[in-house]
Amino acid sequence: MAFLKDLRRRSRASFRTSDSSKESNNSVPSQKSSSTLSSAYGGSTPPSSNPASSSSTNLPALKTNGLSGAPPIPPRPAVVPSSNRNSMVGSTNIQMSAIANMQFQAMSPSGSSSTMRMNQPTSPYAPKITSIVDGSIVHSKIIVISGEINEPQARPMDGNLAVHHDKDGQAFPSTNWPVSDSYFKSLVYLSPGWNKLRFDFTSPKLSSSNYGSPSIHSSYIMLNYLPLNSAPPLQLVILAGKDSPCTFDATPSRTQNEGNDLSVAIRKFRMAAHLWQAFTAEQMYRQKFGRRCFRFEEEWQTGTLSLADWASGIQKNETRIHLVRCEQTVAELRDTNLAQQNENAKQKGDFIASDAIRKHFNIRPGQKHYVACLLLDAHWDKKAGTITAHAALGGGSDDLRLAIFGSHALQSYPSCMEEVVPAFTDCTKTDINYVANDCNESGSSWEAANIGIGAHLHEVGHLLGSPHQETGVMLRDYVRLNRTFCIREPYSTRTKSPGMRVCKIEDECGWHRLDTLRYRYHPCFRLPGDEPIGNSDDSIQYYAIDNGRLIALANSGIAFIEIRTDGADLCHHWFEYINPDPRNGTLPRQVTLSEAEVRAKLPEDKKKSKISLQIWSGSSCNVEIQDLGDTLSQKNITMLPPVKLAPKSDEGMMMSMVGKSFGDKRQGFKSRKLGTSQMEGTKPQEIILQSCIYQSKLLTSLRIWAGGALDGIEFCYEDGSSQIFGKQGGSSSEFLLDTRRGETVLGFAVRAGAWVDGIEILTSIGRRSGMYGNANGGSLHTLMAPRGYQLAGLSGSCGPWIDGLQLIITR
């Protein structure tokens, strides 16, 4: 006990605070103190209690109590403040800036912004970010951030929002955005990794009581920019004639002030593309799919997304714009009159662009490119009243997806972030002596920017697989595109309306829900954490079963099913099967749908209409059922004999059809048909497997007859009998089943196009036979019995070889 008391006395002495007055007289610490620190931390220099990111060496000097010097780093707050919104009322301008920067630099690089911020009083006027959560992961270089000041209903006010990056300087200059009635919208430029952002609000209505200058109210946010470098890019191309001077239509004043040459066209096209990207990422987020978006091909070059970039010549990893010259001259392009809305002109414009782009990218078989193309030589012909060398096209082929639009509205585009708000609020009247008033919807400069940027985005939607929709960008709703980026809208010549003081979310245009469902599983929108999708089998199969029901299957899962009625061009109703939990993107591989459920989705006047379905999988592929009623009819159902127990034959011949019956007749259901059954001399065939009829009949092997295509499939039984679908031809290969383990045939992997090129056997224990026939012909499909069903037979047709194949399944 005496020892413990002594230890307690020593402990109290060692932790007793020194007298500050005595320490002030000793400017040099004792050797004993130095050695204590060294032994405690393993070195002569004690570790810093602050991370490297909290350095304040670049802060302006402050005068505190008559002493000049850098402000001290604040201690860790005892209680972490629940808000990142701070007020700096009552400080001098230098003090406000220094304190804001000190807080800004002290933010944790790990994404947690609570460890090193000053515990300042929360200000109700600090910007409140409503469009994104602190610590979010984003995938586009420029994003839209919106929010509000205080409670807008309580005291609406105007002012300015300044956005600062932690790398403030020439590379990431601060930007300013208007605040209207306490609402704001801004664009933020990000670099890969963590980005520390500060939002400062100032307003003349909130001036400092001590100095009369506007007070600063700040909030902070950290975002992690993760580029999607593993997804295929949307490549940007400017297409020009082989003799083109590479200029675009512009009024004389525009030409004099900013120019209309190729360098300006590149800057404007690049900025428009980033607006597409920011808009799409925000729309995907609102639809609960995360901030997914397409990415662009990049290269190290002089930056153009900020005014400071090209003024100082700073180089960055910026979006690449390809200049492609076609084989036609400018005169030949304008003589084609591509703007005429007829199929011949569209096909000609598509051919000119696609042919030049294919040569430029040297597209090889099996490759796929996504390209947004700007026709630089589009020209407004006032006499003819049309835009020549222009085509608005979107779509393309399997290897080249194209979105084409002209440059006739390019003069109105912003060329950098700082010009976005001025461009979308510019009411300058369109001078039709020099530029086009496209569709009479571009009466002013800001409306022309909407039409040019928005209509090209509409074609990008077609490139990504979107048809026209009932609302949104794919229904020309892009005439309101400006509202996504601006808080105010000026006078509109299109609607003859005075404009809007505050553009809220409900006032903006957007992608339709069906568009975002497509993009959720599109290759260009894939995230690193998404489930991998096989590159080979992206097929969708379906079976019409009893009671008016349909089973749909896909290896990559069923994403959604569109419903269309007879004569309807647009889809108004659909089923979706995407897990609402963003952390779990798993799709069901098998979906059962009844005709009654489908018709229940329709309005009363459409319930008896002819219905078509379009089934979409998780690999962005689809299959169409043109007539649901016809598909569910009896033509896809075949009657099977009841199960029988046949006596064994001593001679090993085929079992007698006479035997004991178990139950009534059964139904067999046919799958979607592969092949067209249109070869010369083709005849229909159908077999029901005897192992499905007779309980004692054992299937032991399959013999495949194939050469350059599939000739026949022969099913061999234990008693020596066999059945063949197709015919014997080419060479034969036998695949033995492991009957001791109860191995059976579940289905087939089939390569087919107009006919069946090759086939692979899939068994119940996970074995695969390998592909017989032409392993590279056609496209790959999986024909397999759904859960709860078994293989009962094959149906189809055969001519010189098999040109039609369906599975027959039964319970």
Tokens encoding 248? 């675009």
Pairing relationship of beta strands 637-640 and 666-670 according to DSSP bridges: antiparallel
- Tell me which DSSP letter residue 492 carries: B
For residues 564-583, b (16+ Cβ closer than 10 Å) or e, as one string? bbeeeeebbbbbebbeeeee
Amino acid found at 369: H
CA–CA gap between residue 529 and residue 583 (Å, rounded): 9
CA–CA gap between residue 172 and residue 169 (Å, rounded): 5
Give the up-direction half-sphere exposure of residue 201: CA atoms within 13 A in the CB hemisphere: 31
Identify whether 459 is a catalytic site residue: yes
Geometric angle at alpha carbon 602, from 600 and 606, rounded to 5°: 120
CA–CA gap between residue 224 and residue 146 (Å, rounded): 17
CA–CA gap between residue 723 and residue 230 (Å, rounded): 49
Tokens encoding 285? 């987020």
Tell me the backbone φ, ψ of residue 772, rounded to 5 degrees.
-105, 140
- 10 Å CB burial of residue 27 (0-12, 13-18, 19+) is exposed
Please give the full DSSP string across 244-266, using - where no structure is assigned: --------HHHHHHT--SHHHHH
CA–CA gap between residue 714 and residue 701 (Å, rounded): 9
CA 376 to chain centre: 28
Smallest Cα–Cα separation from 529: which of 289, 220, 338? Answer: 289
User: Can you say whether residue 243 is alpha, beta or left, with left for phi > 0 and alpha for psi between -120 and 50 degrees?
Assistant: alpha
Greatest distance between any 2 Cα atoms in the chain: 118
Tokens encoding 425? 């609020």
CA 236 to chain centre: 17
Among candidate residues 148, 418, 459, 508, the one labeled active-site is 459
Tell me the backbone φ, ψ of residue 274, rounded to 5 degrees.
-70, -30
Sheet holding 710-717, edge to edge: 722-726, 710-717, 699-706, 731-736
To the nearest 10°, report the CA torsion of 759, 763, 765, 768: -10
Q: At what angle do helices 513-520 and 262-286 cross, to 10 degrees?
A: 100
CA–CA gap between residue 198 and residue 433 (Å, rounded): 45
How far from each other are the two terminal CA atoms of the chain, in whole angstroms?
84
R_g of the chain computed on alpha carbons? 35
- Tell me which DSSP letter residue 106 carries: T
- Tell me which DSSP letter residue 24 carries: T
For residue 683, give the H/E element and its range: strand 683-688
Amino acid found at 135: G
CA–CA gap between residue 287 and residue 578 (Å, rounded): 12
Find where tokens 């042919």 sit.
355
Give the up-direction half-sphere exposure of residue 177: CA atoms within 13 A in the CB hemisphere: 28
CA–CA gap between residue 384 and residue 364 (Å, rounded): 41
CA–CA gap between residue 571 and residue 578 (Å, rounded): 18
Smallest Cα–Cα separation from 277: which of 424, 136, 456? Answer: 456
The catalytic residue positions are 459
